Amino acid sequence: MKLHHIGMLSKDMRREAEHLRESCGYEMVSDEIVDEIQTARVMFLKLPGGDSFLELISPCGDDSKLDGAIKRNQKLHHICFQSSDILSDLRNFRSKGFFILSEPVEASAFPGRKIAWVMDSDRNLFEIVESGGDKVSGL
């Protein structure tokens, strides 16, 4: 596995993306992507020459799974690893005491690839995305 992206919550993705562009040099690498399954809108940024992405995430709809975290002003949402064998890596996480929150499902942001969610005993959230090129929707 390798780091794929860091997921960061944002009340205003466009404003946040502009701030990160001006202050840190990030470039937008995707349009806004609506993910109905995850009840989220996302946008990906990347530092020039960087190997991983920054994902900005906002709630989508009135009953989004993210509403509580946004109301608490939580910023860091998750760390995502790219996996060449998602089922094997999920078994490995389970054997180390992680909770499997979702089995692999199709990913709106990564066409043709699946994602899964796990959480450790400290309640840190991790996403696992299948390898398959670095294609992000909107690139």
Show Cβ contacts of residue 131 under 8 Å, excluding neighbours closer than 6 positions: 82, 83, 84, 113
User: Does the pLDDT at position 2 exceed 90?
Assistant: yes
Average pLDDT on 116-138 reads 85
* Domain spanning 2-130, CATH class: alpha beta
Residue 51, SS3?
A: coil
Q: Look at residue 81 and give its three-state secondary structure.
A: strand
Rounded Cα–Cα distance for residues 93 and 108 (Å): 23
Supply the pTM of this predicted model: 0.90
The model's pLDDT over 65-107, given as tens digits with 9 standing for 90+, comes to 888 888 888 899 999 999 999 999 999 999 999 999 999 999 8
pLDDT, one tens digit per residue, over 10-36 is 999 999 999 999 999 999 999 899 988
Whether 81 contacts 125, CB under 8 Å: no
Q: Are 17 and 28 in contact (CB under 8 A)?
A: yes
